[in-house]
Chains A and B, each alone.
Chain A
Amino acid sequence: MRSVLYLIRKFPGESANETIDLMLVSGVFEQPTSVVFSGDGVWQLLGDGSKIERKDTSRALNALPMYDVESLYVSEESLAKRGIAFSDIDIPVKAVSASTVTELLHNHDVVIGD
């Protein structure tokens, strides 16, 4: 089965919810699935959208491992640039360097952006 990498680079919002649904589907169908949060996409790992009439995506993101999506990564450069501490993230992601992100982009069969 082809491996899929979801590359999340956008602020939380409409497209975030749809992309999370896609990830869950990939996982359910046992497709090897990884997710990289980079750039403004790292903001999706923080906050509670339900406070401003948005969906709270943290529950869905936390559920990913149960759907067999266990490889969640966040770019440490993107966090540092925005002054976000890794310890503030409540979602089971692994902090990785830019060169690891490059590797991940190249060693998956399909890359899907948001």
Chain B
Amino acid sequence: MLHIISNPNAIETCVVHLLDNDEVIFISDSVYGLTEAKLDSRVPVYALETDLAARGIPTTSNVTLANMSQFVRLVVQHTSSVTWT
């Protein structure tokens, strides 16, 4: 399952509900929460590059940058997704 996080306040709740084989992508204002987020190292984490750049947020090594078409690919690859708003 793909977890799409759009709200920084939803990060904590999302992390509680992660399972193996899940992936996480940070979009819009949720990227503000990236630096202090306690992420699960078992789960691949992506962030929309434009959303980081637009807000001047530095990239960290444990996060893979994604563009819009990579985001679309993630959505299609997973059988389902949940958006944490």
Chain A residues in contact with chain B, CB under 8 A?
7, 9-10, 38-39, 98, 101-102, 105-106, 108-111, 113-114
Complex contacts, B17 vs chain A, CB 8 Å: 98, 101-102, 105
Answer whether residue B83 sits at the interface, using C-beta atoms and an 8 A cutoff. yes
A102-B19, A105-B1, A113-B82 provided; 4 other pairs, C-beta below 8 A?
A7-B82, A9-B10, A101-B17, A109-B80
**Which residue of A39, A101, A109, A113 is within 8 Å of B83 (Cβ)?**
A113
Query: In the complex, what residues of B have CB within 8 A of residue A113's CB?
Result: 82-85
Closest 6 A/B residue pairs (Cβ) = A111-B82, A102-B17, A113-B83, A113-B85, A98-B16, A106-B1
In the complex, the chain A residue whose C-beta lies closest to that of B83 is: A113
CB of B81 within 8 Å of the partner chain: yes
Tally of chain B residues near chain A (CB < 8 A): 14
Provide the main secondary structure of the chain A interface.
mixed
A39 to B81, CA, bound (A): 19
A-B contact pairs, 12 of them (CB 8 A): A7-B82, A9-B13, A9-B84, A38-B13, A102-B18, A102-B19, A105-B17, A109-B79, A110-B80, A111-B82, A111-B83, A113-B84
